[in-house]
Amino acid sequence: YGQTKLIGEWMIDNQITASQMRGTTFNAVKLRYFNVAGAGWNELADTAVMNLIPIVLGRLKDGKAPIIFGDDYDTPDGTCIRDYVHVKDLAEAHIAALDYMKAGGTTETVFNVGTGTGASVKEVIDTIAEVTGRDIVPDMGERRAGDPPALVADVTRISALLSWKAEFGLEEIVRSAVEAAGMLPELD
């Protein structure tokens, strides 16, 4: 996955170089998304099971326990840590990048789009349990090949050059995803 994203960045760089050789201008900014999650609106629920939050919600809907792939990583609770960014924050990052380009920003810049903080798999599942009002006991699986212990965005550049900062935290991301999935608990 990471390799294909890097190849995409190389293609953008090649287009910039080719346009310069032709005496034209091709402007681009490269955004590196971290784990995009949550829902901006309920009708735009993330139904693709491509990251942890919709995977866990899907398993809960199917009456199955979520699976944690490894609990022996060198992290505080032994589970992998990832940087989750709300889809609304991602949209705002795109607007900030467009404004940056419009103001004459350089095209050689890559920006990480994340929060700069991470949450472990266990923390995400615990947050889903809290928001849904369910007692969730995950199954423990073996580590997946290639999973690093932690991946968290360095947001220094996007903050400095685009004045962009994620506004939503893990609880808000999970709450929006749970609500969009129709899984909020009934209030008495």
List, in order of start, the domains of the chain with CATH numbers: 27-180 (3.40.50.720)
DSSP label at residue 144: P
pLDDT value for 111 = 95
pLDDT value for 187 = 59
DSSP label at residue 184: P
> Which pair of tokens denotes residue 66?
């979520």
Residues recognised as catalytic? 1
> Which pair of tokens denotes residue 27?
């402007």
- Each residue's pLDDT, cut to its tens digit, for the chain (188 residues) gives 778 888 988 998 898 889 888 988 888 899 999 999 999 878 777 777 678 999 999 999 999 999 999 999 999 999 999 999 999 999 999 999 999 999 988 766 899 999 999 999 999 999 999 999 999 999 999 999 999 999 999 999 999 999 999 999 999 999 999 999 988 887 54
Q: Residue 82's closest CA among 174, 156, 170?
A: 170
Global pTM? 0.89
- Find out whether 34 and 153 touch, Cβ atoms under 8 Å: yes
Strands (E), the chain: 30-33, 35-37, 67-69, 81-82, 84-86, 110-113, 119-120, 139-141, 150-151
